């Protein structure tokens, strides 16, 4: 017996096939020739096992020594990462690789992957300082194991540290896919192009946005909902490669809901930015910025009371 809506389904398919012929960006049909979110997430999981060798189990292999474990992980990462890099190099005109042979693209991709893997010791050093900052800065943390296993901020920073090294190697698309994977799982949006120093601590983290040209010094602490953004992006592509996001100097704390905008905005060392502050101009070293004279109205017993409390 014919399916009740078979004709309608065929008609919809035919309409879509015709629509795909429009020559638009969304009409691209390079099946299986795009980077894979699943493969990249697997690479991040394996990199976690390399960065934290004693924390995350590897059930895929029988492990006899640490050397065996690391060797298998690195070989796996090398193989899959270089393949993903080759895909984006081969298909993007801005990479200037379309005139290269498949062998030349493969060699270039492997060279980039090796350069990245050579940064892992430095990534581990930075991550260690981030874990220390999280423990030192959070009285609710009972130990560093808790931070590594469960803090969304430390996971988002880990992914950023990995993606940033690939970004510096001018790998297209993949670094952004990685940080967006972390964004999806943590609510923390860090562009891989941002520059972030040691001992970086994100407390809670949900809703944090850190733009591409942001520069963050050492020993900086951000709470949830902080935006380090651009004053305006209405210029679109004409603003590319320009400093659009703020600079946060060393030992700065920024409390929840604060927005700091603009490429010329600098938050000086040792400053504290209070919650919900909206800042578009530079702040000198050692400043304390807060919102004053907020009015609180109290409603209870189905009546609005006249008492108003000011928050200073």
170 lies in the same domain as 70: yes
Helix%, strand%, coil% for the chain, nearest 5: 45, 15, 40
How much is the average pLDDT of 27-55? 87
How far is the C-alpha of 310 from the C-alpha of 149, rounded, in Å? 41
Percent of the chain at pLDDT > 70 equals 87
> Does residue 9 sit within a domain?
no
Give the global pTM: 0.86
Instruction: Write out pLDDT tens, residues 49-99.
Output: 999 988 877 666 666 678 888 899 999 999 999 999 999 998 765 566 767
Domain boundary among 147, 165, 189: 189
Burial 133-166 (b: 16+ CB within 10 A, else e): bbbeebeebeebeebbeebbbbbbbbbbbbbbbb
Buried b (16+ CB within 10 A) or exposed e, 254-266: bbbbbbbbbbebb
CA dihedral of residues 119, 120, 123, 128 (deg, nearest 10): -150
Neighbours of 42 (CB within 10 A): 15
Is the CB of residue 223 less than 8 Å from the CB of residue 255? yes
Percent of residues, the chain, with pLDDT higher than 90: 67
- Let me know the angle formed at the C-alpha of 14 by 9 and 18, rounded to the nearest 5 degrees: 150
3 domain-assigned: no
pLDDT of residue 308: 47
- Indicate if 244 and 295 belong to the same structural domain: yes
The values of phi and psi at residue 71, to 5°, are -60, -45
Q: Among all chains, which residue has been given the structure tokens 């298998």?
A: 72
d(CA 137, CA 135) in angstroms, rounded, equals 5
Report phi then psi at 39, rounded to 5. -65, -45
* 296 is a domain residue: yes
On the question of pLDDT at 304 being above 80, the answer is no
Q: Does residue 209 form part of some domain? A: yes
pLDDT, mean of residues 138-152: 95
Q: What is the CATH number of the domain that holds 231?
A: 2.160.10.10
User: Is 275:257 a contact under the CB 8 Å cutoff?
Assistant: yes
pLDDT higher than 90, residue 25: no
Q: Rounded to 5 degrees, what are φ and ψ at 223?
A: -100, 175
Could you read off the pLDDT of 89-137 as tens digits, one per residue?
987 655 667 678 889 999 999 999 999 999 999 999 999 999 999 999 9
Does residue 214 contact residue 220 with C-beta atoms inside 8 Å?
A: no
More confident position, 271 or 12: 271
Residue 268 and residue 172 share a domain: no
Please tell me the total count of domains within the chain: 2
Query: pLDDT grade, residue 312 (50/70/90)?
Result: very low
pLDDT-based confidence at 205, cuts 50/70/90? very high
HEC profile for 130-188?
Answer: HHHHHHHHCCCCCCHHHHHHHCHHHHHHHHHHHHHHHHHCCCCCHHHHHHHHHHHHHCC
Please give the Cα distance from 226 to 208 (Å, whole number): 5
Q: Is the pLDDT of residue 172 over 90?
A: yes
Report the phi/psi class of residue 177: left, alpha or beta, with left for phi > 0 and alpha for psi in -120 to 50.
alpha
The verdict on 157 and 231 lying in the same domain is: no
Selection from 223, 163, 214, 138 nearest residue 188 by Cα = 223
Give the end of a domain, one of 168, 189, 210: 189
CB 239 within 8 A of CB 221: no
pLDDT at residue 311 tops 50:
no
Which pLDDT value is given to residue 150? 94
Residues 179 and 199 in one domain: no
Q: pLDDT tens, 186-202?
A: 999 999 999 999 999 99
- Consecutive H or E run containing 128: helix 120-137
What is the reported pLDDT for 61?
60
* Cα 185 from Cα 45, distance rounded (Å): 13
Confidence check: pLDDT of 269 > 90: yes
Q: Using the 3D structure, point to which of 141, 168, 189 is the last residue of a domain.
A: 189
Report which secondary-structure segment, H or E, holds 92. Answer: none
Q: Is the pLDDT of residue 1 over 50?
A: no
Round the average pLDDT of the chain to a whole number and report it.
89
| pLDDT score of 289 more than 90 | yes
- Cβ pair 190, 156 in contact under 8 A: yes
Q: What is the pLDDT of residue 91?
A: 76
């Amino acid at each position: 017996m014919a399916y009740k809506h078979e004709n309608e389904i065929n008609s919809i398919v035919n309409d879509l096939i015709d629509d795909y012929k429009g020559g638009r960006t969304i009409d691209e049909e390079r099946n299986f020739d795009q980077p894979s979110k699943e493969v990249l997430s697997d690479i991040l999981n394996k990199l976690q096992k390399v960065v934290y060798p004693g924390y995350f189990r590897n059930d895929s292999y029988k492990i006899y020594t640490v050397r065996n474990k690391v060797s298998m992980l690195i070989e796996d990462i090398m193989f899959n990462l270089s393949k993903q890099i080759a895909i984006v190099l081969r298909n993007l005109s801005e990479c200037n690789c379309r005139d290269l042979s498949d062998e030349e693209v493969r060699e270039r991709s492997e060279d980039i992957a090796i350069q990245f893997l050579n940064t892992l010791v430095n990534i581990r050093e930075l991550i260690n300082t981030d874990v220390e900052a999280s423990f030192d800065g959070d009285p609710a943390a009972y130990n560093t194991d808790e931070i590594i296993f469960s803090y969304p901020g430390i996971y988002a920073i880990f992914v950023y540290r990995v993606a940033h090294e690939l970004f510096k190697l001018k790998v297209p698309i993949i670094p952004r896919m990685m940080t967006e994977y972390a964004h999806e799982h943590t609510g923390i949006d860090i562009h891989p192009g941002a520059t972030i120093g040691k001992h970086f601590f994100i407390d809670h983290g949900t809703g944090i946005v850190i733009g591409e040209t942001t520069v963050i010094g050492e020993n900086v602490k951000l709470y949830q909902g902080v935006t380090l953004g651009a004053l305006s992006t209405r210029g679109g592509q004409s603003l590319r490669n320009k400093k659009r996001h703020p600079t946060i100097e060393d030992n700065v704390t920024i409390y929840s809901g604060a927005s700091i905008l603009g490429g010329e905005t600098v938050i000086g060392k040792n400053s504290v930015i209070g919650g919900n502050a909206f800042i578009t101009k530079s702040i000198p070293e050692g400043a304390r910025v807060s919102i004053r004279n907020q009015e609180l109205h109290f409603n209870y017993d189905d009546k609005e009371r006249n008492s108003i409390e000011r928050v200073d």
